Amino acid sequence: MVNNKSINVSAFLSILCWFTVILQLILIIINRQASIFETIIRFFTFFTILTNILVALVFTANWLQPKNSFQFFNKPNTQVAIAVYIFVVGFVYNTILRFIWQSKGWDKVADELLHLVIPIIYILFWYFKFSKKEINYQSIFGWLLFPTLYIVVVMIRGYFSGNYPYPFLHVRNLGVNKVLLNS
């Protein structure tokens, strides 16, 4: 039986995540330095954005449990993989990237939600809500598929466009070996 309190929490967190991603998209378009099309493409090259969308999909799936369209996001292996991804988002941002720029106003709100609040909430939600008994740790290489594909796509796009989403992935400035080490 599905607990109404759990559904309400999932609904709130789903809405919070989608609001945050959409807020960040609006802010990046308002402050764009390229065409709208290029700006939107760049938006979707951030691991932070892609991972927060995955978190939003997990909360949405948890909220809409009876619907089968989001079943993939209710699987324990999917949930733990996303917990790892969002941990990486929070850790990397708060230890490396936070000090590169000072956000203000709505940028600060979006920044804190994307890199601190949502990662902490998701990890706690995952820890207390989802079953760890069903996790198949032999699937760890499957968990690495998304970040590996991400790095490949970002490197190819960066090679042709000269635009890398993060300074530690900028091959032209750091060289391939350093970027691979950073990845």
What is the tens place of the pLDDT at every residue in 56-70? 999 998 888 766 667
Assess whether pLDDT exceeds 60 at residue 182: yes
53-80 b/e (C-beta count within 10 Å ≥ 16 → b)? ebbbbbbbbbbbeeeeebeebebbbbbb
With the C-alpha atoms ordered 148, 150, 153, 154, is the resulting torsion angle positive or negative? negative
pTM for the full model? Answer: 0.90
Q: How far apart are CA 19 and CA 53, in angstroms?
A: 11
What are the CB-based long-range contacts (under 8 Å, 24+) for 64-68?
Answer: 65/2, 65/7, 66/2
Q: Is residue 89 located within the same domain as residue 173?
A: no
Q: Are 23 and 103 in contact (CB under 8 A)?
A: no
Assess whether pLDDT exceeds 60 at residue 166: yes
Q: Is residue 131 located within the same domain as residue 61?
A: yes
Within a 10 A sphere around the Cβ of 158, how many other Cβ atoms? Answer: 19
Q: Is residue 148 located within the same domain as residue 132?
A: no
Residue range 146-153: mean pLDDT, rounded: 93
The pLDDT of residue 149: 95
Q: Is residue 116 located within the same domain as residue 173?
A: no
Q: Is residue 47 located within the same domain as residue 105?
A: yes
The pLDDT of residue 23: 98
Assess whether pLDDT exceeds 50 at residue 120: yes
| Residues 6 or more apart in contact with residue 183 via CB below 8 angstroms | 151, 169
Assess whether pLDDT exceeds 80 at residue 171: no
What residue spans of the chain are helical by DSSP H? Answer: 4-30, 36-43, 47-63, 76-92, 105-112, 118-129, 140-143, 145-161, 171-174, 176-182
The pLDDT of residue 1: 47
The pLDDT of residue 128: 87
Residue range 2-23: mean pLDDT, rounded: 88
Report how many domains make up the chain.
2
Q: Is residue 83 located within the same domain as residue 149?
A: no
Q: Is residue 121 located within the same domain as residue 148?
A: no
Beta-strand ranges (E) seen in 13-63 are none
Assign 152 to helix, strand or coil: helix
Q: Is residue 24 located within the same domain as residue 75?
A: yes
Q: Is residue 132 located within the same domain as residue 153?
A: no
Q: Is residue 86 located within the same domain as residue 8?
A: yes
Q: Is residue 179 located within the same domain as residue 110?
A: no
Q: Is residue 64 located within the same domain as residue 112?
A: yes
Assess whether pLDDT exceeds 90 at residue 92: yes
Range with lowest mean pLDDT among 105-109, 117-121, 160-164, 174-178:
174-178
The whole domain housing 60 covers: 4-136
The pLDDT of residue 40: 96
